[in-house]
Amino acid sequence: MKSILIGSVGSSKVLLEEMIKLNFPIDMVYSLDEKYSEKVSGYEPIHELAEANQIPYRKFRKINDEEHVEEIRNIKPDYIFVIGLSQLVKKEIIDSAKRGTIGFHPTPLPKFRGRAAMVWQVLLGVKETKCSLFFIDEGMDSGDIIGQEEYFIEDTDYAVDVSLKCREAFKKLIKKVLPKLMDDSIKPVKQNEDEATYLLKRAPEDGLIDWKEPVEKIQRLIRAVSKPYPGAYSNYNGKHKVIFWKADYMENKKYIGFPGQIANKTNEYIDVVCVDGLLRVYEYEMVDEVKLIVGNKFKG
């Protein structure tokens, strides 16, 4: 059996680690070059792990460049794993795998196909969920499912917590799936198209806080797009960007003010008035060097 791994983030590294442990045959690792990783949240230089284990690797900028396509075709892999890659892989690469090209998605497919899946699940208040391994076809996350593993999202989880939970579920799933691929006992299941839903892409500007929203929804946005994502933000006094990384919400029985107005400031936190409570911000980042003053406003 021959296989290829293409990846760029933590889930790519998890798969490679488990492949090595299980002696799964790996003929080539394609790793996103660190020179082009600036906009990749959670980037991992998986070529370093490949090199440490004497596994052949290539660093790439665009996986669909003809030199990579030709090399992949010449390897004649049984399986290609495309794990943790934001680039769409073209048909020539997908079709190069004799038995199939395998992808990973952090949702219970066919539900929540598409973009920014972990962020959207937090924003939607999803609690019980699953990650999925599936065969990639020409659709969006629409190929036959190879396996799924559940994980749970709590109301206190931030983006990094959800990522770690998903990674642990992915690790369990890999341990079940890889041996079945090796002994050819895998039994893929077709997705039910009637149950499919789609998550649309998000941009950094979608993290702008609307202070007219309920405080619980604002706090959920902060949790969803916290590190390693760009963060939820607001404009202090209308012009200075402030990023909110960690916050909680509570009743407001004390302060009368406008949504977005700073009610209290200590060395540990700031309290911001919301329409139905207080947002208590424990961790924030000032893009400009300005002083936060009680009574001044954040504006969405």
Q: Residue 45: which pLDDT band, with cuts at 50, 70 and 90?
A: very high
Same domain (yes/no): 22, 115:
yes
Looking at the structure, do residues 39 and 155 belong to the same domain, yes or no? yes
Kindly report the CATH number assigned to the domain that includes residue 295: 3.10.25.10
pTM above 0.85, yes or no: yes
pLDDT at position 40 over 90: no
Q: What tens digit of pLDDT does each residue of 192-214 get?
A: 999 999 999 999 999 999 999 99
Q: Does residue 124 sit in the same domain as residue 12? A: yes
Q: Is 220 helix (H, G, I), strand (E, B) or coil?
A: helix
DSSP E strand boundaries for the chain: 3-7, 28-32, 57-60, 79-83, 100-105, 113-114, 128-135, 145-152, 198-199, 232-236, 240-250, 262-265, 270-274, 277-286, 298-299
What are 147's strand-pairing partners? 133
Q: Residue range 218-227: average pLDDT? A: 97
- Is pLDDT of 300 > 80? no
Tens of pLDDT along 127-136? 999 999 999 9
DSSP state of 156: T
At what angle are helices 10-21 and 159-182 packed, to 10 degrees? 30
User: Both 195 and 209 in a single domain?
Assistant: no
Structure confidence at residue 236 (pLDDT):
95
Rg of the chain (C-alpha set): 22
Across residues 223-246, what is the average pLDDT? 95
Same domain, 19 and 79: yes
Cα–Cα distance for residue pair 153/193, rounded to 1 Å: 25
| Helical residues (DSSP H) of the chain, grouped into ranges | 10-21, 46-52, 66-75, 91-94, 117-123, 159-182, 215-224
24: CATH: 3.40.50.170
Q: What is the pLDDT of residues 154-175, one digit of tens each?
A: 999 999 999 999 999 999 999 9
If one counts the domains in the chain, the total is 2
Of 168, 199, 230, which residue sits at a domain end? Answer: 199
At 238, the pLDDT band (50, 70, 90 cuts) reads: confident
Name the residue among 66, 108, 293, 298 with its Cα closest to residue 195.
Answer: 108
The domain boundary, picked from 199, 214, 244, lies at 199
The residue segments making up the domain with residue 262 are: 204-299
Q: Is residue 211 domain-shared with residue 190, that is, in the same domain?
A: no
Beta bridge partners of 274: 277
CB atoms under 10 Å from CB of 188, counted, come to 14
User: What is d(CA 219, CA 59) in angstroms, rounded to the nearest whole number?
Assistant: 39
Look at residues 167, 199, 231 and tell me which one is the last residue of a structural domain: 199
Domain co-membership, 167 together with 249: no
